[in-house]
Structure 1
Amino acid sequence: MSSARAGLRAPEANRSNALHPGAWWVWALGLGTAASRTTNPLLLGLLVGVAGYVVAARRSEAPWARSYGAFVKLGLFVLGIRLVFAVFLGSPIPGSHTLFTLPDVDLPEWAQGVRIGGRVTAETLVFALYDGLKLATLLICMGAANALANPARLLKSLPGALYEAGVAVVVALTFAPQLIADLQRLRAARRLRGRPDRGIRGLLQVGLPVLEGALERSVALAAAMDARGYGRTAAVPPLVRHTTSALTLGGLIGVCAGTYGLLAAEGAGFGLPVLLVGVGAALGGLWLGGRRSVRTRYRPDVWGVRAWLVSGSGAAVAALMIRFASTDPAGLHPGVVPLVAPTLPLWPAACVLLGLLPAFVAPSPAAALSPRGPRSPRSPRKEAR
């Protein structure tokens, strides 16, 4: 029995079975797509719970993995701002259950349709709560991808045509966590020396070393990139360059037009074909653009069976939620006028639970990999020293 349980248990992460970082983003985007298709607070809360459980089960101890809490706080902040705007600026939703009345501000004629203050109804607050909760859930799902996917390994997996833009994005995303880590380290050092670390005075005295450290890291990064030949490209014929530009630009236009067709009620017939053609053209342009890149990849990440399971679970949640949005709109969008209590639809809730699959099939982060690979064990002589 113990051997059977060990065979079903997810293995510890190592270089051979490390999960592809793109799988985490596909999974998170699937949950975000499902969140965009419903305003039911019970389903949105279930999506947040699924994302939080997977992050708690498969998050490593890396500095970038601590960003999930910041995204949760940002989602709560956005929800609060949405409620404040609904109270002071009103809402187009009519209502008959008046909660309180604020002083009304008279606006000029050119500001017709905008009001400040006035009557605040329960329908207005509930509509704002549903709307803000959907946006907060989207932010939390993106925070789960940031906490689970290694940005350095994700950069290695980008196509050659997107490598330069990917470096800029990764540097921008990792600058803030490194800055916060430096600030915490310097504040701890000042507390050990008995110096103040709070208030304006402590912040001013800590700010200069933090900026100095950021400048040193920037110079070291520029030197490392120059030493590795970053920015050098291979010569390609002019016809290939023009074809790459035409395919990429046309593919992006096709993706935008196809997405609009899928979202609009009148474009359901042409939306999916145009989207598929646009995606194919964009991928062709990226493949041709990658011929200009002369970089090589050391130990590229493999998209294995577990990556297919993780990404497939997120895609299944998105597809099923889109299906239920057309077959059961009342369950996914509870009524506000008249005001009714939301109910939990069983089948959509069951499909959301498919998003828990990565918590059981993804490799355990106990032996999480750094961008340079696992460290070799120290010898007994070094340990004695």
Structure 2
Amino acid sequence: MTAPVAARSNAVHAGAWWLWALGLATAASRTTNPLLLGLVVGTAGYVVAARKTDAPWSRSYATFLKFGLVVIAIRLVFSVVLGSPIPGTHTLLTLPELPLPDWAQGIRIGGRVTAEQLVFAFYDGAKLAALLICVGAANALANPARLLKSLPAALYEAGVAVVVAMTFAPNLVADVARLRHARRLRGRPTGGVKAVLQIGMPVLEGALERSVATAAAMDARGYGRTARVPAAVRRLTAVLTLGGLLGVCAGTYGLLAAEGASYGLPVLLAGLVLALAGLRLGGRRSLRTSYRPDRWGARSWLIAGSGAAVAALMILAGSWDPEALRPGVVPLAAPALPLWPAAAVLIGLLPAFVAPVPPPAPEESR
């Protein structure tokens, strides 16, 4: 399947990008192997570089990448200052230890810092950083407005709040980049504490203006108006939705727990059916219509399926060879790259070849 130039008719569904990214995040959550985590981050970065557009939200991936590095640094600092239960023989330095009362046993501040505890902290921080970067990839590739249009009518109000929260970081990144570019054109410095303080006020002012404009647009379009639904239907909707969610929780616990393997799948399926029925009935309260709804085509199925395949194969690898996915640090040794889990992660590169190619920027086209 040759990837065409992106257009309105062949656009990838926003939900497919999120399912792909959540699949990579699930794979990252199953391992602390830094080689596999680096492969997950590289896969997400390659797809973003190949298929991102010039939209404001597409610039958020680099910011999430920086957040990931900050998370790793914070995890290392906490390990140095607060210590670690990981035993080690390779002492790097010894900090002055602060004596604590008897009720704080098990906690120490300062003391011996070993290479084993730093490597363990790095592995732990790298896993959390990879999760953040996968979320950043979804923010960079999926149009939040299109994702909101695809939500069920019963979840429209909650979806608006979630989409506004998801678009805050990309818009903030776009505002900071715009203001830094304007300062460079004026010959003013863009680094340092003084520059950050001078940029912060216009960024907050822009966020407030967007909030007021969004509220006015929602009010003008009749947001919040609902249809009259009989009381019996409302009660039935609440019972179905709540019962379905409880069934999903109980079924998921059954699948994860060894003693609930017999009833987990039937309860999960029954909960999904009840929840979908409740959402279907709850959608009667919404009076909105969807103009030119996004279609879930073959490319969307391939993109979402590649993320699901990565997650499923990584979960399977964790049950077959857990030591390869979670390398030990005592004794201290270099981690090895397991071949077939690495090949499973590379399935996540499929969107870079099947998703439509973004059109060239105006400057490039000229």
Normalising by structure 1, we get a TM-score of 0.86
Give the corresponding residue for 1:376. Answer: none
Give the corresponding residue for 1:153. Answer: 146
Q: Is the 8 A contact 2:59 2:173 kept in 1?
A: no
Counterpart-to-counterpart distance in 2, 1:111 and 1:343: 38
Distance 1:234 1:270, change over 3 A: same
Distance 1:164 1:62, change over 3 A: same
Give the corresponding residue for 1:83. Answer: 76
Give the unaligned 5+ runs of structure 2.
362-366
Task: Look up the equivalent residue of 1:57 and give its one-letter code.
Answer: A
SS in 1 for 2:359: helix
SS in 2 for 1:366: coil
1:72-91, CA deviations, whole angstroms, 9 ceiling, x for partnerless residues? 11111111111111111122
Counterpart-to-counterpart distance in 2, 1:98 and 1:189: 49
SS in 2 for 1:340: coil
Counterpart-to-counterpart distance in 2, 1:296 and 1:274: 34
1:102-117 matches, within 5 Å, as: 102-117=95-110
Larger mean CA deviation between 164-173 and 109-118 belongs to: 164-173
Give the corresponding residue for 1:71. Answer: 64
Q: 2:246 aligns with which of 227, 235, 253?
A: 253
Give the corresponding residue for 2:317. Answer: 324
Q: CA RMSD in A?
A: 2.5
1:292-348, CA deviations, whole angstroms, 9 ceiling, x for partnerless residues? 111000100000100000000000111111111111112112122233321111111
The Cα of 1:197 is off from its aligned counterpart by 7.4
Give the corresponding residue for 1:298. Answer: 291
Counterpart-to-counterpart distance in 1, 2:295 and 2:87: 54
Asked if residue 350 in structure 1 is aligned to residue 343 in structure 2, the reply is yes
Give the corresponding residue for 1:363. Answer: 356
The Cα of 1:175 is off from its aligned counterpart by 3.7
Q: Is the 8 A contact 1:21 1:149 kept in 2?
A: yes
Counterpart-to-counterpart distance in 2, 1:278 and 1:23: 23
Q: Is the 8 A contact 1:105 1:116 kept in 2?
A: yes
Counterpart-to-counterpart distance in 1, 2:199 and 2:339: 53
Q: 1:47 aligns with which of 29, 36, 40?
A: 40
The Cα of 1:210 is off from its aligned counterpart by 5.0
Counterpart-to-counterpart distance in 1, 2:234 and 2:133: 39
Counterpart-to-counterpart distance in 1, 2:116 and 2:197: 47
Give the corresponding residue for 1:166. Answer: 159
Counterpart-to-counterpart distance in 2, 1:275 and 1:311: 21
Asked if residue 312 in structure 1 is aligned to residue 302 in structure 2, the reply is no
Distance 1:86 1:210, change over 3 A: closer
Q: Is the 8 A contact 2:227 2:284 kept in 1?
A: yes
SS in 2 for 1:103: strand
1:135-191, CA deviations, whole angstroms, 9 ceiling, x for partnerless residues? 111111111111000001001001111111111222233344435544554565566
Larger mean CA deviation between 39-48 and 122-131 belongs to: 122-131
Give the corresponding residue for 2:112. Answer: 119
Asked if residue 97 in structure 1 is aligned to residue 90 in structure 2, the reply is yes
Larger mean CA deviation between 183-192 and 359-368 belongs to: 183-192
1:78-122, CA deviations, whole angstroms, 9 ceiling, x for partnerless residues? 111111111111222222222222211111111111111112222
Q: Is the 8 A contact 2:60 2:169 kept in 1?
A: no
Counterpart-to-counterpart distance in 2, 1:298 and 1:252: 30
SS in 2 for 1:101: strand
Give the corresponding residue for 1:13. Answer: 6
Asked if residue 33 in structure 1 is aligned to residue 33 in structure 2, the reply is no
Give the unaligned 5+ runs of structure 1.
1-7, 369-385
Larger mean CA deviation between 172-181 and 345-354 belongs to: 172-181
Larger mean CA deviation between 50-59 and 283-292 belongs to: 283-292
Normalising by structure 2, we get a TM-score of 0.90
Q: How many residues align?
A: 362
Asked if residue 223 in structure 1 is aligned to residue 216 in structure 2, the reply is yes
Task: Look up the equivalent residue of 1:298 and give its one-letter code.
Answer: Y
Asked if residue 237 in structure 1 is aligned to residue 230 in structure 2, the reply is yes
Asked if residue 280 in structure 1 is aligned to residue 278 in structure 2, the reply is no
SS in 2 for 1:326: helix
Asked if residue 62 in structure 1 is aligned to residue 55 in structure 2, the reply is yes
Distance 1:242 1:85, change over 3 A: same
1:180-195 matches, within 5 Å, as: 180-182=173-175, 184-185=177-178, 189=182
Counterpart-to-counterpart distance in 1, 2:194 and 2:342: 52
Distance 1:353 1:198, change over 3 A: closer
1:262-293, CA deviations, whole angstroms, 9 ceiling, x for partnerless residues? 44455444444433333332222222111111
Task: Look up the equivalent residue of 1:347 and give its one-letter code.
Answer: W
Give the corresponding residue for 1:371. Answer: none
